[in-house]
Structure 1
């Protein structure tokens, strides 16, 4: 059964549960009930939003003389990084952050080319027994006893056994078994120069990777060096030109063997653009040419799926330039050196998330259209009539909780300032003020831990206000209960069965009576709908919460009024006494 369809057709003013959290005495009523039927579909709302955003698109050029915007221009420069000191690092700069140069291999990979100085182990057994370690001489040969010289220079390590065995078989046929192994390779000396952190001459194995040598030299200079143009020269001729973006994005890195006196040249940094905003890779990206289209940067920066617009600021031949465009338009936009990009999700969500808590049937989360009101939601929530107190619905709202927290913190700050700036006319008064300050600090420290609930009162006298919902709202539908909760400054805080004839003092007596710190004249009653009444008279209602506030001794606390006010705020905002 859906009891909410039988609610009175009335609209109660929205009452926000902030500092006082009390309903107005004369709520304004309306005879109009908002139907649960929605007038527009999500698709139409989305198209309206798209049209609205498209109307706001535009570009402008800043006035180079005045620095002011022309009529109708949109200033997006505040969204983009503008400080040279605050620029993000180049894409790929972390490639040299690890200590991989200490994790080198032995260099004896199958593609290694034999060079002078390498050592080769030869073992023959059978008709002849030979075991020796030979060194490749300057002519590229090894000399085997009773066999003679065997040319192995520039032979791949994987082919060494075949080449040597073939030579030995020319002398010894099938009566000899042969085993050949490359033991060590000769180190090479490589020069590293250009835009590198520590240019110089570095030793390594011929099979060591380009990254190994760059790391030995401290890595590419992140402010001046290019990650897209690293050259390897041999005898003053270019033999390899490497784009490290291919390695960082696709894992491609050419494999080759270095030779003695090879040169690694890191070129100057090319044209680059800065990327910020809703992207997975917020870095500085080098362009292959002096300009590039937006789609090239998109492939590297990988914007999040929610991105709808891109802002671009930079310089052109006509002067400072800035433009804000849709994502699809940016894909074909021409970028230049120094451009700063901001990827933004500038389409407002047309669906909001609402949570339902308390006594109800069905799911606890709802995705509803923007501009949905409370009655529209309640009309679609089934309940059990005899277990739900549907007339005491209230909302917990994040924005209200933040405001409550802000107000409490402001009150605590004023209290601390008043205590620490109060003058003292004598030594005795100064000691009293010091003790008071200590107690106030202890109080404010604990009070700042309070997390307000952010209650919004939307019901009173069986009427529920048809308020506009916000994303993140928690709609609480209280269950029916036969209990009264007593807390605060009582001896035994507890829940007591509701008695229609009992007064507030009776319930306090059943909770053991007042504690020594209780303020007998300051008793707060909190209804199930969130309404707060101070020193309420008359009968209570099942589900009410009684809070006895503490009394601040005026003899030791000159700021008793301020402390009392803060206690009230905390009790109202969090339904608790700190």
Structure 2
């Protein structure tokens, strides 16, 4: 029992010691017993709070934790867990920023600087190097540490002993420039190269680890974390102090500062170290040759000074890279041309025009090609490289009836026959009696030289004219001299129109070409032929010659094969009677509603209704009407009427649109009772194709719509008038215009309310009719000011009348 009690007391004491160490890790004197794996989330929170309250980081307390007995392994575990805890619990503005980048075990503070495109200085050669965010000259952490790298506070060394004895630790260089190795002690390494520090550390370890001196164990030392150094950039677009990697170079710092300022030099940048100019940097060496000899490494407190430029020149025109360039003393135009990547393919290279500045004004100077290596540009020079002339020194052209019309190279002594041979000879349609040469004279005017091709091609040197540069030889085609002949066919053929005329073209050929005759073609054919004569005959009034004959209307191949002539007009007439069956529709209260073919041209309503079996017992005799489709020509007539309206008035367009899209039909009322009594009554209208006869079913209701209190259908009562039905739905509303109310009868007729003096008559009401009460038009009430104005006018008028009669 005593043993169990002893073990429990020891266990709780062990846990309590962990809790105490977790809560006050910075003040504890012994950290050798701390086990990071047993720390809870609360313990990590307390440690993180301690570090924040002391304004320090876990990396900064590493030497102290190791000196108090914490092993390097436990410290590394604690560091990892604290970082994981910080990331896991970070929210909003408290979320930690990643300030370190790690590649292959080596870490470096990450330095960024947002780049803004410099549009003002975009044409300065080299400016694009520093406003491109993808080009930052950051040091590569994968490369081996340079042997001349100087250690300093903030660097971290990875020291490993392996073999018989083992040791592994990441040891920072303290602010005093020393590293502290367990059991070895402190070693000063600040200001030493990595190679010298490695030898010194190995010697110190060998004094403690006996197997190192005997060779049974090996020592490895590498740079695991790179420190940050402070440098200053003067004269850049974003001058100031910068914290950058100790492996950074001049170009990296210049990129962070945005490169030289508006008037900064690109060719005489000074790297000042220990108050002395350590290096003069010329960025052009990198831009033109890719030479990075000026891209030296930086050290603590280095100053990069960008002075103002000495001289700049402008190159514009036909070079591969126009812009503004900085020149050094002793450089010539060839050097400048090299900076601009040389002339482009359209440049005039024999000489270059330069605009120079004197003390008072400008002057122009021409640099010949022989002076390119000797002329030294002056500050402010503007070099203009022009295009070559748009002309050829040895060009000649042939066009027309040859197999390969094109441009060809001209050679001294070339003749017409030589050029035709190059063009693969004459075509079959070539006009061989004449060819034309358009020649450019020395004064740039043109002349025509005629050539006899037959003679030239048979060896006559007098006809075979010698050619000159820029000559244009034209070989005519006999087809060019022919008139373009046409024939016209119209009437009852599938594709009437105008067609090309060919020799020996017959009527049969033309009918087959247009797709043949239609079914309505008659046997009558009329051909109009133009009259040609060298003599004017005033006694003959004919303008054309008319040829008439008959063909077989049901056959495209005619027995008489009539030969056509140019410009003939052929007209195939339509047969006298050729009408396809046309239909009307009847629907509603008839015995057999449906579609009916119009039997004759005078087919009327009565005949069609009787053919449909007559009216049924439920038919409303007063509800018959015809709906006739509105034809396109009616809409076109409305559009063509000029109502002399303003340009902004769209009355015509609105009316045409309403007919075309909304109404689509016009209504014709039918009085069936009158038709039954008199077949010649005007209601018995003649029907047109597409008409619809509607016979309404008897309905005893009367619909009341519009601006009434209740839109409804009231049962019809014989003898009741117009006002009865309006009152039956509650009367008109506040916007209703009762005196303009109207009625629509079942057959489509309409009637309106009439007024005479103080008397008003309303239309009769029949079953299935519809009463409509329209809305009153909006009226604008006169304002007080308008009434006062009218009163003033009347008062002035009254005074004028009184004065006149005095």
TM-score by length of 1: 0.51
Residues 113, 155 of structure 1: 8 Å contact kept: yes
CA distance in 1, matches of 2:352, 2:451: 48
Q: RMSD value over aligned CA atoms?
A: 5.2
Q: 1:204 to 1:88 in 2, by over 3 A?
A: closer
Residues 232, 263 of structure 1: 8 Å contact kept: yes
> Which residue among 279, 304, 326 is the counterpart of 2:319?
279
- 1:311 equivalenced with 2:348 (yes/no): no
Q: CA deviation at 1:227?
A: 0.7
What are the within-5 Å matches in structure 2 for residues 95-110 of structure 1? Answer: 95-100=129-134, 104-105=138-139, 107=141, 109=143, 110=145
What is the DSSP-based 3-state SS (H/G/I as helix, E as strand, rest coil) of the residue aligned with 1:99? Answer: coil
Partner in structure 1 of residue 182 of structure 2? 145
Q: CA deviation at 1:206?
A: 1.7
Residues 486, 501 of structure 2: 8 Å contact kept: no
CA distance in 1, matches of 2:130, 2:411: 49
Q: 1:106 to 1:509 in 2, by over 3 A?
A: same
Q: CA deviation at 1:189?
A: 1.7
What is the DSSP-based 3-state SS (H/G/I as helix, E as strand, rest coil) of the residue aligned with 1:260? Answer: coil
CA distance in 1, matches of 2:120, 2:254: 26
What is the count of residue pairs matched by the alignment?
368
- 1:189 equivalenced with 2:252 (yes/no): no
Q: 1:393 to 1:116 in 2, by over 3 A?
A: farther
CA distance in 2, matches of 1:249, 1:198: 25
CA distance in 1, matches of 2:501, 2:417: 35
Per-residue CA shift, 1:433-492, capped at 9, x if unaligned? xxxxxxxxxxxxxxxxxxxxxxxx999997999897749x897897999x9999999969
Residues 187, 206 of structure 1: 8 Å contact kept: yes
TM-score by length of 2: 0.38
What are the within-5 Å matches in structure 2 for residues 34-49 of structure 1? Answer: none
Report which structure shows greater RCO (CA 8 Å, sep ≥6).
1
What are the within-5 Å matches in structure 2 for residues 34-433 of structure 1? Answer: 89-100=123-134, 104-105=138-139, 107=141, 109=143, 110-111=145-146, 112-157=149-194, 164-165=201-202, 167-169=204-206, 171=209, 172=212, 173-194=214-235, 196-221=236-261, 223-253=262-292, 254-289=294-329, 292-301=331-340, 302-304=342-344, 306-316=348-358, 319-345=361-387, 350-353=392-395, 366-368=408-410, 375=416, 378-381=419-422, 383=424, 387=428, 389=430, 391=432
Which protein has the larger Cα radius of gyration, Structure 1 or Structure 2? 2
Partner in structure 2 of residue 430 of structure 1? none
Per-residue CA shift, 1:491-532, capped at 9, x if unaligned? 699997953x559x999888649xxxxxx99xxxxxxxxxxx
What is the DSSP-based 3-state SS (H/G/I as helix, E as strand, rest coil) of the residue aligned with 1:117? Answer: coil
Residues 88, 284 of structure 1: 8 Å contact kept: no
Q: 1:358 to 1:161 in 2, by over 3 A?
A: farther
Q: 1:235 to 1:383 in 2, by over 3 A?
A: closer
Query: Gaps (5+ residues) in structure 2?
Result: 1-118, 439-447, 457-462, 490-494, 516-527, 530-566, 568-639, 641-806
Q: 1:461 to 1:352 in 2, by over 3 A?
A: closer
What is the DSSP-based 3-state SS (H/G/I as helix, E as strand, rest coil) of the residue aligned with 1:335? Answer: coil
Q: 1:155 to 1:497 in 2, by over 3 A?
A: farther
Residues 309, 346 of structure 1: 8 Å contact kept: no
Residues 278, 307 of structure 1: 8 Å contact kept: no
Q: CA deviation at 1:185?
A: 0.9
Q: CA deviation at 1:328?
A: 1.7
CA distance in 2, matches of 1:459, 1:118: 93
